[in-house]
């Protein structure tokens, strides 16, 4: 037992230089994946976020909720269509999206943080015009005719303006903002925004020291199938071009590259299922997942 105490004390002592490095830092954390549906994982995540705030690191949590949206749509018998892997969001669907993201999921995370002794407050991108969006425009190419055509995704939005003034107020206080990725159009429309995209846009507007994208994989894998711990922006571009980075990892890496271009120091893609992933990344020499940096 004494040996365990010494090991714990050594861990805390080893964390000191990392605590000093991130003192006062802004860290945007995208929370999603399977961990969101697991009460124990949510409680563990909440404890880690509250600990970060206690250590004078300023976490800003942005969450997703695709599986939970899908469940409610099915219960309400609302047909949900996809075009090239993207959910078409009509008026009925966007109401459900806002209900689930800004309601049930957002408040579950806020409650979990508060139960761990934090002071969390739930927001969406519509609050104080935090995230102003325009309709996402996508195109596809017909494989037979090779003609490019536009895709109408309905109320799917891309952030074009982020106003972080409200978040600055929380950062200077004891409060932890938890943001649902629902944006507002210039005419007052409600837009469904991809959670990673929202987190990247918010991190860029805040010039955050770190953007942590919690996902269901260990990180970005190289040609040998092993997770790469540290890559530059140019290396990430080359890996995408060569096909080493493929599938669902491409949009995550694109989000990372856009965030770095907007002024984020570095982005980490890491496994949100791993216990204490955020703490391992910030407060240990080992880190976690794949860090993507400018150079």
What amino acid positions are annotated as catalytic residues?
A: 30, 33, 66, 196, 252
Q: Exposed/middle/buried for 16, CB within 10 Å: 0-12, 13-18, 19+?
A: exposed
List Cβ neighbours of 26 (8 Å cut-off, separation of 6 or more). 58, 60, 171, 206, 207, 208, 209, 210
Q: How many CB atoms lie within 10 A of CB 260?
A: 23
Using alpha carbons, select from 174, 170, 180, 203 the residue that is nearest to residue 122.
180
Residues 154, 81: Cα–Cα separation, whole Å: 11
85: left (phi over 0), alpha (psi -120 to 50) or beta: left
**Residue 57 near residue 27, CB atoms below 8 Å:** yes
Residues 261, 66: Cα–Cα separation, whole Å: 27
**Residue 215 near residue 271, CB atoms below 8 Å:** yes
List Cβ neighbours of 122 (8 Å cut-off, separation of 6 or more). 102, 106, 107, 109, 110, 178, 180
Cα 224-229-234 angle, rounded to 5 deg = 85
Using alpha carbons, select from 228, 178, 191, 158 the residue that is nearest to residue 32.
178
């Amino acid at each position: 037992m004494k040996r365990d105490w010494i090991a714990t004390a050594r861990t805390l002592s080893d964390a000191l230089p990392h605590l000093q490095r991130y003192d006062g830092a802004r860290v945007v954390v995208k929370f999603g994946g399977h961990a969101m549906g697991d009460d124990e994982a949510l409680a563990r995540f909440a404890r880690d976020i509250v600990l970060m705030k206690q250590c004078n690191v300023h976490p800003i949590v942005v969450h997703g909720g695709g599986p939970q949206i899908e469940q409610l749509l099915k219960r309400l018998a609302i047909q949900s269509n996809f075009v090239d892997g993207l959910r078409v969001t009509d008026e009925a669907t966007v109401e459900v999206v806002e209900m689930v993201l800004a309601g049930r999921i957002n408040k579950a995370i806020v409650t979990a943080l508060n139960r761990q002794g934090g002071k969390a407050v739930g927001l969406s991108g519509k609050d104080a015009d935090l995230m102003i969006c325009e309709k996402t425009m996508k195109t596809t190419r017909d494989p037979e005719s090779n003609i490019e055509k536009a895709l109408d995704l309905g109320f799917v939005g891309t952030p074009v303006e982020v106003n972080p003034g409200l978040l600055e107020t929380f950062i200077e206080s004891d409060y932890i903002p938890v943001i649902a990725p629902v944006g507002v159009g210039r005419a007052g429309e409600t837009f469904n925004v991809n959670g990673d995209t929202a987190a990247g846009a918010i991190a860029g507007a805040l010039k955050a020291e770190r953007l942590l994208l919690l996902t269901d994989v260990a990180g970005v894998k190289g040609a040998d199938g092993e997770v790469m711990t540290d890559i530059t922006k140019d290396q990430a571009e080359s890996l995408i071009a060569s096909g080493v980075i493929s599938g669902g990892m491409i949009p995550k890496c694109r989000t990372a590259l856009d965030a770095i271009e907007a002024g984020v120091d570095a982005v980490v893609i890491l496994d949100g299922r791993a216990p204490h992933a955020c703490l391992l990344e910030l407060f240990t020499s080992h880190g976690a997942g794949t860090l993507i940096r400018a150079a």
